[in-house]
Amino acid sequence: MSGFICQNCEKKVSTDNFIGTAFRNHCPFCLWSKHLGQGKTIDKVRPCQSMMEPIGLTFKQEGFDKFTKEAKQGEIMIVNQCLGCGAVTINRIAADDDPKAILKLLRRSFAPLRMTPDIKVLDEKDEKEVKRQLFGII
């Protein structure tokens, strides 16, 4: 079994099974990830490698319906902030992510967050859609 040990919750994370996305980039139990992109490191060559805290949820931007001109509803995404360099990123949720952890994160995201202006963080009014995507018709 291939995988890794989460550096936040220390649980074994499998990368073998079907998770609904091309690769595993966060822990399905606590939703934390590791910053593998370029960050503000001393030599600016190495990836940052710091832990990324899940700080909220957003919906993937899917564009607009060509007939109604209304925004299309995108899938749930996790908003992460790097504890090392401060970068804010978004990641798709995976099929094996803990729905309770996702709902807990949704409720945490009701509080003001340190965000970039181009990411719309979900709030109370989005809870019904999040539950619909996680559990089906609610």
pLDDT of 78? 94
2-23 burial string, b = 16+ CB within 10 Å, else e? eeeebebeeeebeeeeebeeee
Residue 33 has pLDDT above 90, yes or no: yes
For the chain, what are the domain ranges? Answer: 3-135
Q: Give the per-residue pLDDT at 2.
A: 76
pLDDT at 4: 84
Distances (CA, A) of 30 to 2, 54, 123, 129: 19, 8, 20, 21
pLDDT in tens, 84-132: 888 888 998 988 899 999 999 998 876 555 556 678 888 888 999 999 9
In the chain, where does DSSP find H-type helix?
99-108, 127-135
pTM: 0.79
